[in-house]
Amino acid sequence: MTPDTDPARLVQLMLAEPRLIRRPITRIGGRLILGADYAALEEAVA
């Protein structure tokens, strides 16, 4: 786990910037998915 993905650090970032919760950035492999695009998330993990 890198410092950028440390759970405590992620919580700090979300507390400092709540928009990260409403508009998440998800990286799956080499793909970035912006927002809560459930169809894109399902496709990325399938």
Q: What is the pLDDT of residues 3-44, one digit of tens each?
A: 567 888 888 988 999 887 888 888 888 888 888 888 988 888
| Sequence ranges of the domains in the chain | 3-45
| pTM, full prediction | 0.49
Q: Strand 25-28 relative to strand 31-34: parallel, antiparallel, unpaired?
A: antiparallel
Residue 3 has a pLDDT of 55
CA distance 35 to 33: 7
